[in-house]
Structure 1
Amino acid sequence: MTMNIVVLSDTHLTRVTQELQALCARYCDAADLVVHLGDWTAGCVLDYFEQYRLEAVCGNMDDLAVRMRLPTKKIFRVGSHCIGLTHGWGYGGDIQAQLLQAFDGVDVILFGHTHRPLVERVDGRLLVNPGSVFSGRGPQGRTLAWLRAGTLLHAEIIEL
């Protein structure tokens, strides 16, 4: 059985907007699981997402209400796949090497922070950054990721 997972990061919202509600109606309602990789910014946004089956971490821009409720790193299983979550960190450097070291033994690493979408396999592990749903950087616009976890793991970036 395949599980459909919507992966979001870097919402950077201080309130629940109509645009967020529309995005969730389109993507989160259709998913079996919602993953948010931090930088919610405000606790009320996390509250809104708790209507879904949710796996999540906090980010560097989150307020205390979010940081008190969510870890900075998390590992969980979907079927036979081990999935690692973190927001990410730093400004430049080789974040991929750091992620691979921090999440030894997982099948997929989901991370945010850079606002730059990425789907890449490194040494048999899948690295996925969904980008930012509301504030893309550089040539990348607003994006999220869709992860299918069945016998195999497959991820794609969705442009909004």
Structure 2
Amino acid sequence: MRIGLVSDTHNLVRPETLDALRGVDHIIHAGDICKHDVLDALASLAPLTVVRGNNDVAEDVAHLPEHVRIELGGITFHVVHDIADVPRKLDGIDVVVTGHSHKPLIEQRGAVLFVNPGSAGPRRFKLPISLAWLEIDEGRIDARIVQLVT
């Protein structure tokens, strides 16, 4: 199972983002969507799980949940926009997906894999434009950052 992880699109759906996500089995968006049109574009590619970010104040996205727990391919995910809002106890969680910082990160912390796909939206400072892929195969998780724009 391939899962596309995206965050901080800030109302920008790049063609490179759509191309990179074609063929994934599920998409997780870790917040800062800004307008619902972004979700419509992503949902046309695969089932979508999404959380609200600090910039998601528009009426069409303000109702989104702050945290989501979801199981995909036998792996349990906790999705939240800001890593500061990750609960201390992560019992039963295999992967934490965050955004907010715009900095891509893949880091194993004990039994939990932390992934921040970076930002697929407007460039911030000199940070890369990126997303992440997660491959799940028989309980094994392989995470990879995909740089979209150089």
Shorter-chain-normalised TM-score: which range? 0.7 to 0.9
Which residue matches 2:142? 154
Tell me how far apart the structure 2 counterparts of residues 140 and 12 of structure 1 sit (CA, whole Å): 15
Q: Is the 8 A contact 1:116 1:137 kept in 2?
A: no
Alignment of 1:8-157 (within 5 A): 8-13=6-11, 20-24=14-18, 26-51=19-44, 52-62=46-56, 63-68=58-63, 70-88=64-82, 95=84, 99=86, 101=88, 103-151=90-138, 152-157=140-145
User: Is the Cα contact below 8 Å between 1:10 and 1:37 reproduced in 2?
Assistant: yes
> How far apart, in 2, do the equivalents of 1:120 and 1:39 lie?
22
Aligned residues: 145
Secondary structure in 2 matching 1:47: helix
Structure 1 residue runs without a partner (length 5+): 90-94
Instruction: Extract unaligned runs of 5+ from structure 2.
Output: none
- Give the 4+ runs in structure 1 shifted more than 3 A: 135-139
Distance 2:93 2:123 in 1: 27
How far apart are the structure 1 equivalents of 2:126 and 2:71?
Answer: 34
What's the CA shift string for 1:119-138, capped at 9, x where partnerless?
Answer: 00001110000000123445
Per-residue displacement from partner, 1:31-53 (whole Å, max 9, x unpaired)?
Answer: 11111111111122222222221
Q: Greater CA deviation, 135-144 or 106-115?
A: 135-144
Alpha-carbon displacement from aligned partner over 1:86-120 (angstroms, at most 9, x marks no partner): 1116xxxxx4xx62516433000000000000000
Give the fraction of aligned pairs with identical amino acids, expressed as a percent: 32
Aligned mates of 1:136, 1:157 — CA distance in 2: 16
Following the alignment from structure 1 to structure 2, what is the Cα–Cα distance between the partners of residues 130 and 78? 18
Partner SS, residue 60 of structure 2: helix
CA distance in 1, matches of 2:90, 2:62: 21
What value does the CA root-mean-square deviation take over the aligned residues?
A: 1.9
Deviation at 1:71, TM superposition (A): 0.7
In structure 2, give the amino acid aligned to 1:106. Answer: I
Structure (1 or 2) with the greater strand fraction: 2
Which amino acid is the alignment partner of residue 53 of structure 2? G
Q: Deviations over 1:14-47 (max 9, x none)?
A: xx65xx24421x1222211111111111122222
Tell me how far apart the structure 1 counterparts of residues 70 and 61 of structure 2 sit (CA, whole Å).
Answer: 20
Q: Which residue of 2 aligns with 1:7?
A: 5
